[in-house]
Every structure is written in C-alpha cells, then in structure tokens.
Amino acid sequence: AVVSTQSTGHYYITNNLSEMSDVRKPQDKKGPHKKKESILDLAPYLEKRMRVKFNGGREASGVLKGYDALLNLVLDGATEYLKESEETIKTGKKTRQLGLVVCRGTNIVTICPQDGIEQIANPFLQSDQ
C-alpha cells in the first residue's frame, strides 16, 4: 500500500500501516534547493518610475511594480521610446504606450530611476589643451 500525507508531503510505502517507512518524492532527492538571491536590491525603487534599456537599443519607462531574483521586471504604465531610424540606436521623441509589461531580465542592459537623473561630463575624455 502507498500512503500519502498532505501535511508533510512525503509518501510512505508499507504493507502494514503500523510499519511505515519514509520515502522521499523524486524531486526531493537532490536535497534542498537554495533560493537565488537577486544581485540588485530594487526594493527602494518599487512604485517609482524607472527607465530600462534593452539589448538591441530599445528603451522603456514605467512604474516598477515588481521584480525577481533574475531581474525580470514588471512595469506599469510603460512607455516605449522609439528609435529615430533603423540605422541609429538613438531614441527619438516618438513614443508608444504599452501599459503593463514584464521585462525579461536577460535582455536588460541598464535600469535607472527616471527622476533625479542628470547627465555629467565624461571624466575619461582628454581635453584639447
């Protein structure tokens, strides 16, 4: 007889219910899985507007609603910034509204808050003096 207990999630194999032996489920044989930790803590940026750049030059912004350890992002009220032309990677003034989107973490190049961004001079450029 095979007996399953829902509370512990273990299966028991026995001929006599008084002599139960503990048998693990097949997925438990590898041992406990460690939860992956995120390389970035984006918790302070939840409910804030973020700008995301992707592989291939696409850019989008939206309110960060959630993320996971693989840096998959959920953006609400997302706006995509369209490229000026196929030959350039520079985004133009044209946009399109996307709404609620899930951004795959493997395609993300940069993540930055939309508010409080300022461009600074490149400190590595040599001056012509």
- pLDDT band, residue 22 (cuts 50/70/90): very low
Residues 6+ apart with CB under 8 A from 110: 51, 52, 53
Q: Do 31 and 12 contact (CB within 8 A), yes or no? A: no
The answer on pLDDT for 32 being more than 60 is yes
Which tokens hold the place of 11? 């299966």
- pLDDT band, residue 89 (cuts 50/70/90): low
Q: pTM for the complete prediction?
A: 0.60
Spatial separation of the C-alpha atoms in residues 46 and 29, rounded to whole Å = 37
Which tokens hold the place of 97? 């509204």
Q: CA 92, 93, 97, 100: dihedral to nearest 10 degrees?
A: 60
- Position of tokens 């840096």? 71
Per-residue pLDDT tens for 39-79? 778 888 899 999 999 998 889 999 999 999 888 999 999 99
Residue type, 89: I
Spatial separation of the C-alpha atoms in residues 6 and 21, rounded to whole Å = 16
pLDDT score, position 76: 95
Phi, psi of 85 (to 5 degrees): -155, 170
Alpha helices in 39-83 (DSSP H): none
